[in-house]
Amino acid sequence: VSVKNVHHVGIAVDDLDASLLVYEELFGARLEHRESVEDQGVEAASLRVGESRIELLSPLGPDTPVGRFLAKRGPGMHHVAFEVDDVGAELDRLRAEGAQLIDDRPRRGLFGLQVAFVHPEATGGVLAEFVSDD
C-alpha cells in the first residue's frame, strides 16, 4: 500500500460561494482552484486549510452525481481522497482484494488530477478517491 496522505476531503454543498465564505471565515481557508466541469455536472473549489485541502462540490443540476447525492443525503461530507503515486496500481491491488470499484481505470478528475473512485460498499459507507498529481 502506498498511500502518502489524505489529499483532500470532498464536501457536497448547495451554494459554492456561500460555502467558500464559511470555510474562509471559520477555518482560514484559501481558494486554490475553482472550476466548472460540465461533463461531471459539478462546480468545484479546492481550498487550502493550513497544510491540508478541502474540495467543495456543488452540482450544476439535480440530475448529476453531486445533485443526486444532495437530494438523498443533504449537504455534508462526500468523499475522502488518498494521495498515491500510481492510481492504476492501487486499483489493481484493490481489485485483487475483491473490493468494489466505481472506476476500473484512472481518469482525468478535477483540477487536472488523475483520479479513481472506490465504492462506499468497500469501505463501510465512505466514498474513497485515489489521487495522483500527474
Residues 91-130 close enough to bind Co ion by CB under 5 A: 129
Residues 6-65 close enough to bind Co ion by CB under 5 A: 10, 55
Is 81 an interacting residue with respect to Co ion (CB under 5 A)? yes
Indicate the Cα dihedral angle 124, 72, 117, 55, nearest 10°: -110
Burial of 7 (0-12, 13-18, 19+ CB in 10 A): buried
Query: Helix, strand, coil % (nearest 5) of the chain?
Result: 30, 45, 30
Least distance in angstroms from the C-beta of 56 to Co ion: 10
What cell was used for 16? 459554492
Q: Could you give the maximum distance between any two Cα atoms of the chain, in Å?
A: 44
Number of residues located near Co ion, criterion CB under 5 A: 4
Dist. CA 113–CA 123, nearest whole Å: 22
Residue nearer to Co ion on the CB measure, 33 or 95:
33
Least distance in angstroms from the C-beta of 72 to Co ion: 18
Residue nearer to Co ion on the CB measure, 98 or 134:
134
What cell was used for 20? 467558500
Least distance in angstroms from the C-beta of 66 to Co ion: 11
Residue nearer to Co ion on the CB measure, 94 or 116:
116
Residue nearer to Co ion on the CB measure, 66 or 81:
81
**Contact residues: Co ion, CB under 5 A:** 10, 55, 81, 129
